[in-house]
Amino acid sequence: MALNLKIIGIGGTNGSGKDSVGQVLADRHSYLFVSVTDLLRAELHRRGVPVEREHLRELSAEWRREYGLAVLVDRALEEFNNLKGKYVGIAIASLRNPAEADRIHELGGVVLWIDSNAQTRYERIQNNAEARSRAGEDSKSFEEFLAEEEAEMHPSGDAATLDMSGVKKKADIILDNDQTNLTDFQDFITEQLFGVHKSPVAPIAQENPDTPLAPTA
């Protein structure tokens, strides 16, 4: 089935490659890539609050209560609309609340979920800690990493808090990122989203059944 990929919302587990997907879309396919988590980081810096995952969660919930559950997607789209004509589409990461996925769908866009083995994701983060420059977020044990993920995956009963499992349920495309080489990863994303020699605006992509798009080998 043909999917309209002009607006792509990207969700996924920590260290799965969400920002890397956005960067591939920006570098190879002329998308605007907006990290809504960077918007939150910038606000924490402005307030003089340490950039830690707990504070990011609290701030995102605060904004959702004050401005609406899809505020982060809306702010990313404002940036895109202000730059009309410069990009073929927009990639937004990271979706962490189901209302954000709903907003993408309301606008005719596609929600992508990316995942990988927890140990692999943890090792990626630790191995790339210097390049990521997120010491407050990344410096933790594997057990702490898993505990934080558990807190972010499941809702607390407050609609404004994180519910990444709810985002996954709304995904149109699910990818399993087992790539270890950057070029292979870039090729993998391009192939899975657009196919060989396909236009980046309206390509063919597999919808979300029970089977991931990624190879199992």
pLDDT tens for 164-178 read 999 999 999 999 988
Residue in the block written with tokens 């808090």 = 161
What's the Cα-to-Cα distance from 204 to each of 65, 76, 119, 210, rounded to whole Å? 37, 25, 32, 18
Q: How many CA atoms lie within 13 A of 180 on its CB side?
A: 5
Query: What is residue 130's predicted lDDT score, i.e. its pLDDT?
Result: 65
Of 112, 99, 44, 110, nearest to 72 (Cα)? 99
Query: What is residue 215's predicted lDDT score, i.e. its pLDDT?
Result: 27
Query: What is residue 128's predicted lDDT score, i.e. its pLDDT?
Result: 77
> Which residues, in sequence order, are bridge partners of residue 176?
115
Query: What is residue 2's predicted lDDT score, i.e. its pLDDT?
Result: 53
pTM of the shown model:
0.84
Query: What is residue 134's predicted lDDT score, i.e. its pLDDT?
Result: 62
CATH of 7-194, one of 1.10.1200.10, 3.40.50.2300, 3.40.50.620, 3.40.50.300: 3.40.50.300
Of 36, 75, 19, nearest to 162 (Cα)? 36
108 vs 3: CA distance, rounded Å:
9
Chain-centre distance of CA 71, in angstroms?
15
Q: Which residue numbers in the chain have pLDDT < 70?
A: 1-4, 129-138, 196-217
Indicate the domain borders of the chain. Answer: 7-194
Query: What is residue 1's predicted lDDT score, i.e. its pLDDT?
Result: 45
Chain-centre distance of CA 159, in angstroms?
19
- Whether 21 and 114 have beta carbons less than 8 Å apart is answered as yes
Read off the pLDDT of residues 86-101 as tens digits, 9 standing for 90 and up: 999 999 999 999 999 9
